[in-house]
Amino acid sequence: MLIFWCWLAAVISVVLAYIVAGPIWKREHSMFFGDSEKPLELSGAVGEVFIITAGALFVAAIDQVCEEVSPVSILTSYPLFCGGFFVIVLVGVYLYGVYKGMTGLPGEKKRLTATYMVYGVFSTILFAGICLLAALMIAEAVIDANKFSTEAALVLAQAEGLSGQAIAAKTSGLNMVFLDTQAVLKRLEGSMSPVFVFAAGLFAFNLVVRYTPLRRAFAKEAMFATYLTTFTALALVVVTGIWVYTGQYSNFIGDVLNAMAPMRPDFFAASPDYNSRYTDIWLRLVDDQALLGFLSRMSDQWGGVAALLGIFQWSAERFNKPEASTKMPSPRQEGTV
């Protein structure tokens, strides 16, 4: 419900801001579709409401893949910190709104300032929401890392407890260790889902804002921000991937292989069936430990979606031109709308 109420407040703020701005934002942010001689003009509010709705769905998707925490749980766990941070964001947004209003054209400054006062509700929700989203992902990552450490320790204890057992019991126990190892790795893969959903959402946002007529609804600063969000998405995926691979994934598989190593003489001296099973498990874990094995796992589900959208954006930047012109129609064209 928190996401819904924030979405509703943001939509109302944007619509009222465009009403207050009147011809000022009509001139600056109207979107034009279709033939250049007789384009269809739509208010920039339509584009912004579309982006707000998509953003709310994006946040809801991340909330769904975060199994341990939620926006509400973070707010209720740290009410003073969150409240103080919200006030700081609120003050910053409205001070910037006053500044933007004063930079307007002569005769428009008062109206533009009033516009940014109304628009500030949306801006505050946007920036506070981004910070809350970051806190949500960090909290989820910390909890997932702690759970992984506990589960990995149990699997390693199980593997180390196989020493001294008969070969049949050792093989049966090794099969269970292998299955539990795959289950732990699968859950580790799931812990990357919030990052991949976040990156996929940023790539999709950039594609919409930069390569559709919706780009007219945004100021130049927002267009420049698409480059920043692209870098942020890539950096977040790379940094998180390195942390998970080197700090958890590869180390865990290496520890399992180390626990299996003392069993090698027993299996090599056993019958071919036991020997073959030990070899299969060993080779499978070695393949999983390799960087290619890690990337293959991470490209499943949301990881694949993020990669695909990233490729689309890269292709669009090199082979396509933006669909919407940043220029206003000529006075003759405006009269025909």
For every residue of 152-196, DSSP letters joined together read HHHHHHHHHTTTTS-HHHHHHHHHHHHHHHHHHHHHHHHHTHHHH
- CB 235 within 8 Å of CB 63: no
Tokens standing for residue 208: 């919409």
pTM over 0.95: no
- CB 237 within 8 Å of CB 306: yes
How confident is the model at residue 329, as a pLDDT? 45
In angstroms, the CA 146 to CA 141 distance is 9
Count of CA atoms in the C-beta half-sphere (13 A) of 8: 5
Tokens standing for residue 281: 């498990």
In angstroms, the CA 59 to CA 76 distance is 18
Secondary structure (3-state) at 31:
strand
- CB 136 within 8 Å of CB 74: yes
How confident is the model at residue 328, as a pLDDT? 43
Which amino acid makes up residue 333?
Q
The total of other beta-carbon atoms located within 10 Å of residue 205's CB is 21
Burial of 285 (0-12, 13-18, 19+ CB in 10 A): buried
In angstroms, the CA 216 to CA 49 distance is 14
Ordered DSSP codes for 70-130: -HHHHHHHSHHHHHHHHHHHHHHHHHHHHHHHHTSPTTTHHHHHHHHHHHHHHHHHHHHHH
How confident is the model at residue 176, as a pLDDT? 95
User: How would you write the pLDDT of the chain (337 residues) with one tens digit per residue?
Assistant: 888 999 999 999 999 999 998 888 888 777 666 666 666 677 778 878 887 888 888 888 888 888 888 888 888 988 899 899 899 989 999 998 898 888 888 888 899 999 999 999 988 988 888 888 888 888 888 888 889 999 999 999 999 888 888 999 999 999 999 999 999 998 888 888 788 787 777 777 777 777 666 665 555 555 555 566 667 767 777 888 888 888 889 999 999 999 999 999 988 888 989 999 999 999 999 999 998 888 777 776 655 666 666 666 666 566 555 444 444 444 433 333 3
How confident is the model at residue 303, as a pLDDT? 59
